[in-house]
Amino acid sequence: MKRGEEQAKRPGRGHRFERFAHAISRFAGSTTAFIAALAIVLVWGLTGPLFHYSNTWQLVINTGTTVVTFLMVFLIQRTQNKEALAVQLKLNEVVAALQGASNRLVNVEDLDEGELQVLHDHYSRLAEMAERDPPVALARRGGPAAPVQDGRGQGRPAPSQMK
């Protein structure tokens, strides 16, 4: 059994941590969290004279912010990884569903940087060639577009030609 399948079948620590990380990420981006952080900094600043701006007083805020920042980096990265994977899967589904679309790029995220650069150069050349093609260049400048093919392979007016 593969690792992903194994994790999907048994909700355990990973599932609980995922829910926790998601909840913390949502809270951290909320207005309430910002106000709470601002309040902590204000209270800390106002207590400076009380503690004579001592090294310990400075160490409290430095340690607290360092620990919170350190932990948030990992929580936010975990959330972003999950969201990036979800977006990639959605894009893969769109490519797979489009008739006539090439599915060669479905797993493009697995390529290394050199291979991605080769693909980027290839598509840049295609874009340059398309720009030199009069109908494409005219459409890109907002001129009349060619008919769009619908799912049945029949032409229909482009959105810019519809009234």
Q: Are 112 and 102 in contact (CB under 8 A)?
A: no
| One pLDDT digit (tens) per residue for the chain, 163 residues | 555 555 555 567 778 888 888 888 889 989 999 999 999 999 999 999 999 999 999 999 999 999 999 999 998 898 888 889 899 888 888 888 888 777 777 778 888 889 889 988 988 888 888 788 776 655 656 655 445 454 545 444 444 444 4
Q: How many residues are recorded in the chain?
A: 163
Q: Are 33 and 27 in contact (CB under 8 A)?
A: yes
Residue with tokens 């981006």: 29
DSSP calls for 16-55: HHHHHHHHHHHHHTSHHHHHHHHHHHHHHHHTTTTTTT-H
Tens-digit pLDDT profile for residues 103-140: 777 778 888 889 889 988 988 888 888 788 776 655 65
pTM of the model: 0.55
Alpha carbons 100 and 97: distance in angstroms, whole number: 9
